[in-house]
Amino acid sequence: MSFDFIEFKSKLSKSYDFVLNDIASLRTGRATVQILDPVIVEAYGSKMRLVEVASIQTPDPTMLLVTPWDRSLLPNIEKAISSAELNLNPVVDGDIIRIKIASLTEEKRFEMVKILHKKIESGRVMFRNLRSDTKREIEKQKGNDGISEDDIKNEVKELDDLLKQHMEKLDTLTVNKEKELLTI
Protein backbone atom coordinates (compact mmCIF):
# COMPACT_ATOMS: atom_id res chain seq x y z
CA MET A 1 0.00 0.00 0.00
CA SER A 2 1.34 3.39 -0.86
CA PHE A 3 -1.56 5.77 -0.29
CA ASP A 4 -1.62 7.60 3.06
CA PHE A 5 -5.15 7.72 4.49
CA ILE A 6 -4.24 9.98 7.42
CA GLU A 7 -5.29 13.15 5.60
CA PHE A 8 -8.54 11.53 4.40
CA LYS A 9 -9.38 10.37 7.94
CA SER A 10 -8.63 13.86 9.26
CA LYS A 11 -10.90 15.50 6.68
CA LEU A 12 -13.66 12.98 7.42
CA SER A 13 -13.39 13.72 11.14
CA LYS A 14 -13.48 17.47 10.55
CA SER A 15 -16.54 17.10 8.31
CA TYR A 16 -18.25 14.95 10.94
CA ASP A 17 -17.45 17.52 13.65
CA PHE A 18 -18.85 20.25 11.42
CA VAL A 19 -22.14 18.35 11.03
CA LEU A 20 -22.20 17.62 14.76
CA ASN A 21 -21.81 21.32 15.59
CA ASP A 22 -24.31 22.28 12.90
CA ILE A 23 -27.07 20.10 14.31
CA ALA A 24 -26.25 20.98 17.93
CA SER A 25 -27.99 24.32 17.39
CA LEU A 26 -31.29 22.62 16.50
CA ARG A 27 -33.71 23.36 19.30
CA THR A 28 -35.22 20.41 21.08
CA GLY A 29 -37.48 22.34 23.44
CA ARG A 30 -34.86 21.97 26.16
CA ALA A 31 -32.35 24.64 27.06
CA THR A 32 -28.83 23.88 25.89
CA VAL A 33 -25.87 26.21 25.69
CA GLN A 34 -25.36 25.24 22.01
CA ILE A 35 -28.60 27.00 21.05
CA LEU A 36 -26.70 30.29 21.36
CA ASP A 37 -23.66 29.19 19.33
CA PRO A 38 -24.69 31.21 16.23
CA VAL A 39 -24.99 34.47 18.25
CA ILE A 40 -22.38 37.07 17.30
CA VAL A 41 -22.07 40.15 19.54
CA GLU A 42 -20.75 43.58 18.59
CA ALA A 43 -18.14 44.14 21.33
CA TYR A 44 -15.10 46.36 21.66
CA GLY A 45 -15.25 47.41 18.02
CA SER A 46 -15.36 43.89 16.59
CA LYS A 47 -17.69 40.92 16.26
CA MET A 48 -17.27 38.20 18.87
CA ARG A 49 -19.03 34.96 19.66
CA LEU A 50 -21.36 35.16 22.65
CA VAL A 51 -19.32 32.60 24.62
CA GLU A 52 -16.32 34.95 24.33
CA VAL A 53 -18.07 37.80 26.17
CA ALA A 54 -20.42 36.03 28.60
CA SER A 55 -21.04 32.85 30.52
CA ILE A 56 -24.10 30.81 29.62
CA GLN A 57 -25.86 28.54 32.09
CA THR A 58 -28.88 26.27 32.04
CA PRO A 59 -30.37 26.28 35.55
CA ASP A 60 -33.29 24.15 34.35
CA PRO A 61 -34.47 22.55 31.07
CA THR A 62 -36.53 25.60 30.09
CA MET A 63 -34.20 28.50 30.94
CA LEU A 64 -30.90 29.95 29.77
CA LEU A 65 -29.01 32.54 31.80
CA VAL A 66 -26.46 34.74 30.06
CA THR A 67 -24.09 36.66 32.34
CA PRO A 68 -21.84 39.14 30.52
CA TRP A 69 -18.33 39.59 31.87
CA ASP A 70 -18.65 43.28 31.11
CA ARG A 71 -22.01 44.75 32.16
CA SER A 72 -21.73 47.47 29.48
CA LEU A 73 -22.23 44.76 26.82
CA LEU A 74 -25.70 43.83 28.15
CA PRO A 75 -27.64 45.81 25.48
CA ASN A 76 -25.41 44.50 22.67
CA ILE A 77 -25.86 40.90 23.84
CA GLU A 78 -29.63 41.31 24.12
CA LYS A 79 -29.76 42.78 20.60
CA ALA A 80 -27.52 40.03 19.18
CA ILE A 81 -29.69 37.25 20.66
CA SER A 82 -32.90 38.91 19.41
CA SER A 83 -31.56 39.38 15.89
CA ALA A 84 -29.95 35.92 15.55
CA GLU A 85 -33.16 34.43 14.07
CA LEU A 86 -33.36 31.80 16.79
CA ASN A 87 -36.91 32.73 17.85
CA LEU A 88 -35.67 33.56 21.34
CA ASN A 89 -36.83 36.46 23.47
CA PRO A 90 -34.09 37.64 25.83
CA VAL A 91 -35.17 39.53 28.95
CA VAL A 92 -32.68 41.71 30.83
CA ASP A 93 -32.96 41.12 34.57
CA GLY A 94 -30.40 43.26 36.39
CA ASP A 95 -26.93 42.03 35.38
CA ILE A 96 -28.13 38.93 33.54
CA ILE A 97 -30.23 38.01 30.54
CA ARG A 98 -32.91 35.34 30.97
CA ILE A 99 -34.11 33.37 27.98
CA LYS A 100 -37.17 31.17 28.39
CA ILE A 101 -37.15 28.19 26.05
CA ALA A 102 -40.71 27.40 25.02
CA SER A 103 -41.78 23.84 24.42
CA LEU A 104 -41.96 23.01 20.75
CA THR A 105 -45.27 22.22 19.15
CA GLU A 106 -45.61 18.92 17.32
CA GLU A 107 -45.56 20.78 14.01
CA LYS A 108 -42.35 22.61 14.98
CA ARG A 109 -40.72 19.33 16.07
CA PHE A 110 -41.40 17.78 12.66
CA GLU A 111 -40.06 20.93 10.99
CA MET A 112 -36.86 20.55 13.05
CA VAL A 113 -36.57 16.91 11.94
CA LYS A 114 -36.76 18.04 8.31
CA ILE A 115 -34.01 20.59 8.94
CA LEU A 116 -31.98 17.86 10.66
CA HIS A 117 -32.26 15.61 7.60
CA LYS A 118 -31.15 18.47 5.31
CA LYS A 119 -28.09 19.13 7.49
CA ILE A 120 -27.24 15.41 7.62
CA GLU A 121 -27.60 15.12 3.84
CA SER A 122 -25.21 18.04 3.36
CA GLY A 123 -22.79 16.11 5.59
CA ARG A 124 -23.20 13.03 3.40
CA VAL A 125 -22.44 15.17 0.33
CA MET A 126 -19.26 16.46 2.01
CA PHE A 127 -18.23 12.85 2.72
CA ARG A 128 -18.94 11.75 -0.86
CA ASN A 129 -16.97 14.70 -2.28
CA LEU A 130 -14.02 13.80 -0.06
CA ARG A 131 -14.26 10.20 -1.29
CA SER A 132 -14.30 11.31 -4.94
CA ASP A 133 -11.28 13.55 -4.51
CA THR A 134 -9.34 10.88 -2.62
CA LYS A 135 -10.29 8.16 -5.12
CA ARG A 136 -8.92 10.33 -7.92
CA GLU A 137 -5.65 10.69 -5.99
CA ILE A 138 -5.47 6.91 -5.54
CA GLU A 139 -6.15 6.27 -9.23
CA LYS A 140 -3.42 8.77 -10.22
CA GLN A 141 -0.92 6.23 -8.87
CA LYS A 142 -1.80 3.88 -11.74
CA GLY A 143 1.33 3.09 -13.71
CA ASN A 144 3.72 4.19 -10.93
CA ASP A 145 6.58 1.82 -10.11
CA GLY A 146 5.66 -0.68 -7.42
CA ILE A 147 1.90 0.01 -7.65
CA SER A 148 -0.22 -2.82 -9.02
CA GLU A 149 -3.88 -2.85 -10.05
CA ASP A 150 -4.58 -4.90 -6.91
CA ASP A 151 -2.94 -2.25 -4.74
CA ILE A 152 -5.24 0.39 -6.22
CA LYS A 153 -8.31 -1.85 -5.78
CA ASN A 154 -7.35 -2.54 -2.16
CA GLU A 155 -6.83 1.16 -1.46
CA VAL A 156 -10.21 2.04 -3.00
CA LYS A 157 -11.80 -0.71 -0.87
CA GLU A 158 -10.12 0.72 2.26
CA LEU A 159 -11.36 4.18 1.24
CA ASP A 160 -14.91 2.85 0.89
CA ASP A 161 -14.68 1.06 4.26
CA LEU A 162 -13.59 4.27 6.00
CA LEU A 163 -16.39 6.18 4.29
CA LYS A 164 -18.93 3.54 5.29
CA GLN A 165 -17.86 3.79 8.95
CA HIS A 166 -18.40 7.56 8.95
CA MET A 167 -21.72 7.26 7.12
CA GLU A 168 -22.84 4.84 9.85
CA LYS A 169 -21.79 7.40 12.47
CA LEU A 170 -24.00 9.95 10.66
CA ASP A 171 -26.89 7.46 10.67
CA THR A 172 -26.51 6.93 14.42
CA LEU A 173 -26.28 10.68 14.97
CA THR A 174 -29.45 11.19 12.92
CA VAL A 175 -31.44 8.57 14.86
CA ASN A 176 -30.34 9.97 18.23
CA LYS A 177 -31.00 13.61 17.33
CA GLU A 178 -34.36 12.76 15.75
CA LYS A 179 -35.38 10.93 18.92
CA GLU A 180 -34.25 13.93 20.97
CA LEU A 181 -36.22 16.34 18.78
CA LEU A 182 -39.41 14.28 18.90
CA THR A 183 -39.29 13.59 22.66
CA ILE A 184 -41.44 15.96 24.65
Q: What DSSP letter does each residue of 25-71 carry, written as one string?
A: TS--SS--GGGGTT-EEEETTEEEEGGGTEEEEEEETTEEEEEESSG
What is the per-residue pLDDT across 102-149, written as a single tens digit (0 to 9) for each? 777 888 888 889 989 999 999 999 999 999 999 998 888 887 777 788
Answering whether pTM is above 0.85, one says: no
Same domain, 68 and 11: no
Same domain, 94 and 114: no
CATH code, domain with 50 = 3.30.1360.40
Residue that terminates a domain, selected from 51, 70, 100: 100
Same domain, 62 and 130: no
Task: Report the candidate in 130, 117, 116, 181 with the shortest Cα–Cα distance to residue 160.
Answer: 130
Residue that terminates a domain, selected from 47, 74, 100: 100
Residue 57 included in any domain? yes
Contact 112, 177 (CB under 8 A): no
